[in-house]
Amino acid sequence: MAQNEQNNNKEIDLTEISRHMKRYYARVGDSFFNSILFVQRNIILFAIIIVVGVGLGYFLDKGSKSYSHKIFVIPNFGSVDYVYNEVEHIDKKIGEGDVKYLKSIGIHSPKKLGTIKIEPVIDIYSFLDNTEQDQANRRLELFELIAEQGDVKKVLEEDVTSKNYKTHLITIRTSSPVAPKEIIEPLLEHLNANKYFKQIQKEYVANTDIKLAANEQMIRQIDSVVNNFNKAGSSKSAGLMYYNDNTQLNELFKVKNTFVLEQQKIRINKLNYDYIVKQTSVVSNTLNVGATTGRMKFIVPLFFIFVFVVVVRFVKFYKRKLHKYNEV
């Protein structure tokens, strides 16, 4: 008997589930059919909404486009603060819409400008390598101390530290593509027109040439000492060379190597000294792509249709509830 009751209960449960499933599918079918009827009744309104939405979306797609221009620069002769202040000043003038000022510094298309900013290219290895050895060691010790406290990332990005990096990135945003002569070239010409740093540049280049000449003279003197020693040694030992620790030749070779490496570094750095703000590379007219870039012609009509459906359903709901309220 108990077994029969269990079987009957299972049959009742399955029957009930089957009924619920049928009612659910029936409601889904009715909703789908009602949706078709709703679209059919309002087909003209839907067509108008789609046409208006696509037109507005196309207009927004054109107006929302922006382009980035990245300029990698090396500020020379201690001009980092000057470059940062000047870029920030130009950005404020863009925000104020001061077309007269922007034209005065040579920019041909000021109305296309959106923003301009500058930030360091964080390179701790170059930061340590481009300093004198003792100064580099002190900086390394400082960073090791900071690393123990877990604040390395914060310190690397601080203004006090970041402005000491060699390379910096100027990013310009415009509303449309621009040629280099419209904005980029006039901006660099303006940054390189500072009279004070032009004087510093002349002195710096002159001192660099003096340093190169002095190092070359020291290298020649070391070579002369070594050559004289070789001649003296070869006359005594019939061509066999033997270097005694007391000759200090090893120290001379180390000093010469130091001068040679310094000459290499100075000559490489001198390549950047032809400008106060040296441009190293430019990447221009890059389209900024966001989640909605180029998609507004699809998003706007879908949004309008969604709003239209919600409004219609809300009106029907309100009328139905109002009718019941009046009956009560």
Mean pLDDT, residues 215-227 taken together: 81
Q: From residue 152, give the alpha-carbon distance in Å to each of 82, 130, 156, 178, 259.
A: 26, 20, 6, 39, 34
Separation between Cα atoms, residue 219 and residue 102, nearest integer Å: 51
How is residue 275 annotated by DSSP? S
* Closest-CA residue to 272 (of 126, 77, 121): 77
Query: Which residues in the chain belong to E strands, given as ranges?
Result: 67-75, 113-120, 168-174, 277-287
Going from N- to C-terminal start, the domains of the chain cover 2-63+294-327, 66-121+167-287
Q: Is the pLDDT of residue 84 over 90?
A: yes
Radius of gyration of the chain (CA): 38
Is the Cβ–Cβ distance between 295 and 88 less than 8 Å? no
Question: For all residues of the chain together, what is the average pLDDT?
Answer: 76
Question: Which is it for strands 168-174 and 113-120: parallel, antiparallel or unpaired?
Answer: antiparallel
Q: Is the pLDDT of residue 276 over 50?
A: yes
Number of neighbours of residue 173 by Cβ within 10 angstroms? 16
pLDDT for the residue 240: 46
Greatest mean pLDDT range, 245-254, 277-286, 304-313: 277-286
In this structure, what token pair is assigned to residue 283?
Answer: 């990447």
Separation between Cα atoms, residue 68 and residue 174, nearest integer Å: 7
* Placement of tokens 């923003």 in the chain: 115
Chain center to CA of 108: 25
For the chain, what's the residue count?
328
How is residue 305 annotated by DSSP? H
Q: From residue 161, give the alpha-carbon distance in Å to each of 22, 95, 127, 156, 226.
A: 71, 28, 9, 6, 44
Taking the alpha carbons at both ends of the chain, their separation in whole angstroms is: 52
What b-and-e string marks burial along 34-44, b requiring 16 or more CB atoms within 10 Å of the CB?
Answer: eeeeeeeeeee
Separation between Cα atoms, residue 270 and residue 250, nearest integer Å: 30
Is the Cβ–Cβ distance between 276 and 192 less than 8 Å? yes
Is the Cβ–Cβ distance between 160 and 38 less than 8 Å? no
Is the Cβ–Cβ distance between 141 and 147 less than 8 Å? no
pLDDT for the residue 246: 45
Q: From residue 59, give the alpha-carbon distance in Å to each of 54, 62, 138, 291.
A: 9, 5, 58, 17
pLDDT band per the 50, 70, 90 thresholds, residue 148 = low
Is the Cβ–Cβ distance between 113 and 94 less than 8 Å? yes
* From 185-199, 201-215, 310-324, the region with the lowest mean pLDDT: 310-324
* Closest-CA residue to 293 (of 94, 116, 50, 67): 67
pLDDT for the residue 6: 53
Is the Cβ–Cβ distance between 170 and 116 less than 8 Å? yes
Q: Across the strands, what pairs with 117? A: 171
* From 78-92, 203-217, 235-249, 308-322, the region with the lowest mean pLDDT: 235-249
Q: Is the pLDDT of residue 170 over 70?
A: yes
Q: Is the pLDDT of residue 239 over 50?
A: no
Amino acid symbol at 2: A
Separation between Cα atoms, residue 120 and residue 143, nearest integer Å: 18
Mean pLDDT, residues 47-52 taken together: 83
In the chain, the percentage of residues whose pLDDT exceeds 70 is: 69
Q: What is the pTM of this model?
A: 0.65
